[in-house]
């Protein structure tokens, strides 16, 4: 029975399997390692000549080296000789033992079968069937292969040309052929007439159809990037056949026509399609309900565009050398691809609209029309009748409620039965010949298209707009992207290139699964390359705008207003005339004044460029490339993050050689300007700029960023340690408690910066805001490392003078013995110097933490953990604790700590010898930073005794008692030089008690007369008044 043969299924499987075999062979040829490097025959750039050259070359090399050579030649021609069928049958019967039914079956199969078939003189059977099938294209192919001028005059694909018929359904007699690929039709024609070339000499219609296909281009695609040079292949075939000289002349004529005209023709087609698709998309986007009746227009537009893209790709890669190849380079390809993707997205978005329309159309029109057509068939066999009746019943059962309930439609059975019916009615002597009932074919072709719009839209989009050919022409693909990106008007369409990479996952085949991994890696590489390039261009424009705004913002900084203040002071005076050729400096804001709005400034041009680039991101939020979800906006965020980090580091202007760096307040102003300008990006594209900026600035609070690069925290920590605090340790820079900053007191030529410009409250608050609590924590850890290194040296000095210090501790109330012991004590100045350095470091850290507190508390009132002072510094406690070794005991450490305080106390009088120890009322401290000893003694003692779990107050009382005794002895010396700065040293003792949370004024008065402190303050202030006078 005919229905048992399953012809439709076999045809479908055979068509798909043939494509799979070609793909498999192509993969084996290109990627298999089974071929020798010099394999000849069919591999590119290899032939019998190359193999022979290698053989002779090897022989010559062996002869030169004195080695013997053996040449073995194998003849495999016998392997291709066909054995006579009678001999095969005889051996099967006599040797193998086959007999009966098996032997009869082989005899019937091999009977009348020739060993070969001559394709040059073939005139019967298949060629005539192929010719008839090819001639069926004589109406369709010429209509599709028209120049752009005729498309334009006919207003092809335009919905606005006939507004009255805008709601009429688009249909024709050959709906399936309207979106059939030109590449497929040309392949049918060219390769088909190579098989049945006799009709080219006998049938004028065949000859015209064949010549038209030859004029369409130079190459046809076979599979992947394998192409067929149609003129060369046709000419080589006909060259060996008599009577085909005219056809060879036709081939040469067509080839010359292609070289002269084809590039221009296809260039104009692409230009027309860009405009037509844009108009079609705008209309359908505004009225998506038109997608129902005009779905055929969408498929035609996509198919026409795909044909032009495929033609350009295969010809631009394989074009022969010509004087000019401008027609084969399209720098506006991005626009065509963009509109194709837009139409594809529109069909997917409003799939329910298309589905609802065609469900109603099938049930209320197509079913009735098909039923009427069937009634007009006079003779209808039973099998055909059953098939056609099932068509009507299935279509009539469709309902809109199925769409509303979101039921899955599967109408593949109707299409398969229609293919089966065509097979039944197209054979010779068919009871119901289809050619006698063209109306039935027209109706069924229309029904087939409508059913595909219900359940198979995605496959239709694949059939009409799939561009996976780019995966096999990566060089052409990248070249098109580069050319488009160089055009300003094409930048809004650049996102179409990475979106095309999502098509590549559809070109795999079950017969070649090994190819999938290669395609996947290539697709991702291309996609990532395109997205990174687009993101780089967009990021560059954004940051250029930010840089321009930062320059404008810098003009408003207070440091630039000196000229304006000076001009205001002498405003009443007559202004001098500007010198000839001198250009007056423009005031901030002058760039906004313009007489003509059409004059575009640099900022205007950059905003226009940004608008173009960000428009490309509207193509879609994400898409799939094989199993990977790609989000284009994330590439932009990543690129902006990298570039913004580089710019912030560049704005720092850190120079380790000259110790130069940007002031924290200036850098903060620049970052704020960049941040404010970057928020304009949110007006163009949905990007979380706040998250981006937070991510960048949060990385700057760490010593290294996510890429391992140095950050603001690293640079400012290095600068403050190596530049500012190092100079403060040598008294070139003084800590000024009154002004809460460090002040330079050396000539300007000795320092490359002014300390007060980097250490006042505003600068340290800016620093705290830049590097945050984490950055200041890192800064504090580095400060603690320097402190612990000083403590280690102090302990060594205590150990060297331990015996003397123990005696001084026990005899502090015996002046005569103290004088003798003090003469034996060495390194007192060094101890005080190192303690001063510790005090300077701690004072700077205290200032930074106070500013951090001000900054954090102004933002979050509950962030009290950041920047609050403690009586005992936990960071210093941790640093001191880490200094202890396994060999040292707690008692030994406690002894060293106590003796260190003794060492400091008995060394205080030596400070009076230093002329810089004079107390400065202006600075609120001493000129050699010894006032920082107060912080060093209090905090270091608290940290050391906390680690040793001892009573801090008791140990500091002993220090105060010993220090008071030695300073009182200083007051008894009236003739020594030490008396000169005695009052300033008395004030230092008062500062130690005042800053200590463990000592009080009552404790000080019990061991040191208050009248001495009062007199010391009077003397110091008197000296300050005299200095001012």
Output the CA–CA distances (angstroms, integers) from residue 257 to 4, 205, 218, 264, in the order listed: 51, 20, 10, 11
Query: How far apart are the C-alpha atoms of 536 and 486, rounded to whole Å?
Result: 13
Check: CB of residue 961 under 8 Å from CB of residue 1006: no
The answer to whether residues 259 and 360 belong to one domain is no
In a domain, 397, yes or no: yes
The answer to whether residues 274 and 385 belong to one domain is no
In a domain, 709, yes or no: no
Domain membership of residue 400 as a residue range: 353-465
In a domain, 226, yes or no: yes
Residue 754 has what pLDDT?
A: 87
Strand stretches in 170-306, DSSP E: 219-223, 226-229
Query: How far apart are the C-alpha atoms of 284 and 170, rounded to whole Å?
Result: 14
Number of domains in the chain: 3
Burial bucket for residue 772 (CB in 10 Å: 0-12, 13-18, 19+) = buried
The answer to whether residues 1016 and 889 belong to one domain is yes
Query: How far apart are the C-alpha atoms of 280 and 301, rounded to whole Å?
Result: 9
Domain end, chosen from 282, 297, 330, is at 282
Closest CA to 370 of 424, 440, 459, 308: 440
Residue ranges of the chain with per-residue pLDDT less than 70: 1-5, 7, 32-48, 75-82, 109, 111-127, 323-324, 570-584, 746-750, 857-869, 885-886, 971-979, 1023-1029
Residue 748 has what pLDDT?
A: 60
Query: How far apart are the C-alpha atoms of 172 and 11, rounded to whole Å?
Result: 26
Output the CA–CA distances (angstroms, integers) from residue 586 to 360, 556, 562, 579, 590, in the order listed: 71, 12, 14, 16, 6
Query: How far apart are the C-alpha atoms of 809 and 132, rounded to whole Å?
Result: 123
Check: CB of residue 239 under 8 Å from CB of residue 271: no
Query: How far apart are the C-alpha atoms of 335 and 619, rounded to whole Å?
Result: 12
In a domain, 876, yes or no: yes
Please tell me whether residue 600 adopts helix, strand or coil conformation: coil
In a domain, 329, yes or no: no
Domain end, chosen from 228, 259, 282, is at 282
Q: Report the DSSP beta bridge partners of residue 628.
A: 625
Task: Kindly give, in sequence order, each residue whose CB lies less than 8 Å from that of residue 104, ignoring residues fewer than 6 positions away.
Answer: none
Closest CA to 664 of 873, 859, 855: 855
H/E stretch holding 962 reads helix 952-971
Residue 124 has what pLDDT?
A: 42
Query: How far apart are the C-alpha atoms of 580 and 597, rounded to whole Å?
Result: 31
Phi (first) and psi of residue 704, to 5 degrees = -135, 145
Please tell me whether residue 110 adopts helix, strand or coil conformation: helix
**Any idea of the CA torsion for 411, 416, 419, 423, to the nearest 10 degrees?**
-150
Domain end, chosen from 465, 483, 511, is at 465
Instruction: Kindly report each contact of residues 585-591 with a partner whose C-beta sits within 8 Å and lies 24 or more positions away, as own/partner.
Output: 588/552, 588/555, 588/556, 591/552
Model pLDDT for residues 35-78, shown as the tens digit of each residue? 666 565 556 656 667 777 778 888 888 888 888 888 777 766 66
Query: How far apart are the C-alpha atoms of 786 and 780, rounded to whole Å?
Result: 10
3-state helix, strand, coil in the chain (%, to 5): 70, 5, 30
The answer to whether residues 375 and 457 belong to one domain is yes
- Indicate the length of the chain as a whole number: 1029
Residue 77 has what pLDDT?
A: 63
Whole-angstrom distance between the N-terminal and C-terminal Cα of the chain? 128
pTM: 0.81
Residue 71 has what pLDDT?
A: 75
The answer to whether residues 363 and 277 belong to one domain is no
Query: How far apart are the C-alpha atoms of 199 and 205, rounded to whole Å?
Result: 9
Query: How far apart are the C-alpha atoms of 314 and 998, rounded to whole Å?
Result: 88
Task: Kindly give, in sequence order, each residue whose CB lies less than 8 Å from that of residue 147, ignoring residues fewer than 6 positions away.
Answer: 265, 268, 269
The answer to whether residues 278 and 357 belong to one domain is no
H/E stretch holding 744 reads strand 741-744
The answer to whether residues 270 and 392 belong to one domain is no
Residue 917 has what pLDDT?
A: 80
The answer to whether residues 939 and 1023 belong to one domain is yes
Rg, Å, the chain Cα set: 46
Residue 233 has what pLDDT?
A: 93
Strand stretches in 588-631, DSSP E: 623-625, 628-630
CB atoms within 10 A of CB 146: 14
Check: CB of residue 494 under 8 Å from CB of residue 334: yes
Residue 487 has what pLDDT?
A: 92
Residue 122 has what pLDDT?
A: 45
In a domain, 958, yes or no: yes
Residue 633 has what pLDDT?
A: 93
Query: How far apart are the C-alpha atoms of 1008 and 965, rounded to whole Å?
Result: 8
Where b means 16+ CB within 10 Å and e means fewer, 599-627 reads eeeeeeebbebbebbbbbbebbeebebbe
CA angle 902–906–909, rounded 5-degree value? 150
In a domain, 402, yes or no: yes
The dihedral of CA 256, 259, 265, 270: what is its sign? Answer: positive
Query: How far apart are the C-alpha atoms of 633 and 639, rounded to whole Å?
Result: 10
In a domain, 343, yes or no: no
Closest CA to 359 of 291, 294, 450: 450
The answer to whether residues 894 and 994 belong to one domain is yes
Output the CA–CA distances (angstroms, integers) from residue 781 to 677, 787, 839, 853, in the order listed: 35, 10, 16, 18
């Amino acid at each position: 029975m005919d229905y048992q043969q399953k012809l439709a299924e076999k045809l479908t499987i055979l068509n798909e399997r043939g494509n799979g075999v070609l793909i498999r062979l192509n993969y084996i040829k290109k990627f298999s390692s089974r071929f020798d490097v010099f394999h000849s025959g069919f591999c590119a750039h290899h032939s019998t000549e190359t193999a022979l050259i290698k053989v002779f070359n090897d022989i010559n090399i062996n002869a030169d080296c004195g080695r013997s050579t053996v040449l073995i030649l194998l003849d495999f021609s016998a392997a291709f000789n066909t054995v006579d069928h009678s001999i095969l049958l005889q051996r099967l019967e006599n040797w193998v033992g086959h007999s009966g039914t098996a032997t009869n079956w082989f005899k019937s199969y091999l009977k009348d079968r020739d060993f070969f078939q001559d394709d040059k003189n073939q005139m019967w059977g298949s060629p005539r069937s192929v010719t008839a099938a090819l001639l069926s294209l004589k109406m369709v192919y010429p209509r599709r292969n028209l120049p752009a001028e005729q498309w334009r005059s006919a207003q092809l694909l335009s919905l606005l040309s006939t507004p009255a018929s805008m709601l009429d359904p688009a249909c024709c007699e050959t709906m399936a052929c309207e979106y059939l690929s030109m590449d497929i039709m040309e392949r049918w024609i060219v390769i088909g007439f190579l098989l049945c070339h006799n009709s080219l000499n006998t049938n004028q219609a065949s000859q015209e159809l064949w010549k038209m296909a030859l004029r369409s281009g130079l190459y046809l695609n076979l599979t992947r990037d394998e192409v067929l040079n149609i003129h060369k292949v046709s000419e080589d075939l006909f060259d060996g056949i008599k009577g085909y000289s005219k056809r060879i002349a036709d081939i040469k004529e067509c080839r010359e026509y292609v070289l002269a005209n084809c590039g221009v023709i296809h260039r104009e087609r692409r230009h027309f399609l860009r405009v037509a698709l844009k108009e079609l998309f705008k209309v359908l986007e505004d009225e998506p309900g038109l997608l129902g009746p005009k779905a055929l227009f969408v498929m035609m537009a996509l198919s026409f565009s795909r044909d032009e893209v495929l033609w350009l790709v295969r010809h631009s890669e394989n074009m022969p050398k010509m004087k000019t190849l401008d027609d084969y380079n399209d720098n506006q390809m991005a626009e065509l691809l963009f509109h194709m993707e837009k139409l594809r997205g529109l069909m997917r978005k409003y799939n329910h609209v298309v589905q609802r329309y065609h469900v109603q159309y099938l049930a209320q029109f197509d079913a009735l029309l098909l039923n009427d057509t069937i009634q007009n068939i006079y003779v209808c066999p039973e099998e055909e009748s059953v098939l056609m009746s099932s068509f009507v019943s299935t279509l009539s059962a469709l309902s809109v409620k199925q769409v509303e309930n979101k039921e899955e439609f599967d109408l593949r059975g109707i299409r398969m039965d229609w293919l089966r019916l065509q097979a039944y009615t197209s054979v010779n002597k068919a009871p119901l010949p289809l050619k006698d009932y063209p109306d039935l074919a027209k109706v069924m072709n229309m029904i087939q298209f409508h059913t595909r719009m219900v359940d198979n839209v995605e496959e239709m989009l694949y059939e009409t707009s799939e561009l996976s050919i780019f995966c096999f022409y990566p060089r052409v693909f990248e070249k098109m992207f580069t050319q488009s990106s160089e055009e300003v008007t094409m930048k809004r369409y650049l996102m179409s290139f990475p979106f095309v990479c999502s098509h590549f996952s559809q070109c795999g085949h079950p017969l070649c699964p090994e190819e999938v991994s290669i395609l996947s890696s290539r697709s991702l590489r291309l996609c990532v390359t395109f997205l990174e390039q687009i993101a780089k261009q967009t990021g560059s424009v954004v940051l250029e705008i930010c840089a321009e705004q930062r320059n404008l913002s810098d003009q408003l900084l207070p440091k630039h207003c000196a000229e304006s203040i000076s001009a205001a002071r002498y405003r009443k005076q007559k202004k001098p005339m500007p010198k000839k050729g001198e250009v007056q400096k423009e005031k901030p804001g002058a760039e906004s004044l313009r007489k003509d709005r059409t004059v575009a400034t640099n900022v205007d041009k950059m905003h226009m460029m940004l608008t173009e680039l960000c428009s490309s991101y509207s193509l879609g939020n994400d898409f799939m490339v094989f199993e990977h979800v790609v989000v284009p906006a994330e590439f932009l965020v990543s690129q902006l993050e990298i570039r913004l980090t580089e710019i912030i580091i560049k704005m720092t202007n850190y120079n380790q050689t000259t110790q130069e760096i940007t002031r924290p307040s200036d850098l903060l102003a620049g970052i704020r300007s960049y941040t404010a300008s970057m928020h304009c990006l949110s007006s163009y594209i949905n990007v979380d700029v706040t998250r981006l900026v937070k991510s960048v600035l949060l990385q700057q609070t760490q010593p290294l960023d996510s890429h391992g690069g140095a950050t603001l925290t690293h640079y400012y920590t290095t600068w403050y340690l190596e530049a500012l605090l190092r100079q403060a340790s040598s008294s070139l820079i003084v800590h000024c408690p009154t002004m809460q900053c460090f002040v330079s007191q050396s000539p300007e030529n000795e320092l490359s910066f002014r300390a007060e410009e980097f250490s006042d409250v505003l600068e340290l608050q800016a620093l705290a805001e830049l590097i945050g609590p984490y950055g200041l924590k890192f800064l504090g850890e580095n400060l603690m490392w320097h402190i612990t290194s000083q403590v280690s040296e102090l302990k060594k000095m205590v150990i060297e003078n331990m015996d003397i210090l123990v005696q001084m501790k026990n005899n502090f109330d015996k002046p005569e013995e103290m004088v003798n012991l003090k003469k034996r004590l060495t390194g007192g100045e060094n101890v005080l110097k190192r303690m001063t350095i510790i005090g300077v470091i701690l004072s700077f850290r205290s200032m930074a933490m106070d500013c951090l507190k001000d900054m954090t508390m102004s933002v979050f009132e509950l962030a009290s953990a950041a920047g609050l002072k403690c009586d005992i510094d936990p960071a210093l406690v941790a640093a001191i604790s880490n200094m202890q070794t396994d060999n040292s005991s707690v008692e030994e450490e406690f002894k060293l700590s106590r003796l260190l305080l003794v060492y400091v106390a008995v060394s205080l009088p030596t400070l009076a010898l230093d002329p810089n120890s004079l107390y400065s009322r202006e600075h609120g401290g001493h000129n050699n930073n010894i006032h920082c000893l107060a912080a060093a003694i209090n905090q270091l003692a608290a940290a050391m005794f906390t680690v040793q779990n001892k009573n801090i107050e008791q140990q500091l009382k002993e220090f105060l008692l010993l220090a008071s005794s030695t300073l009182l002895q200083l007051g008894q010396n009236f003739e020594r030089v030490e008396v000169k700065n005695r009052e300033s040293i008395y004030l230092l003792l008062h500062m130690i008690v005042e800053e200590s949370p463990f000592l009080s004024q009552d404790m000080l008065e019990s061991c040191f007369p208050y009248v001495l402190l009062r007199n010391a303050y009077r003397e110091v202030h008197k000296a300050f008044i005299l200095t001012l006078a």
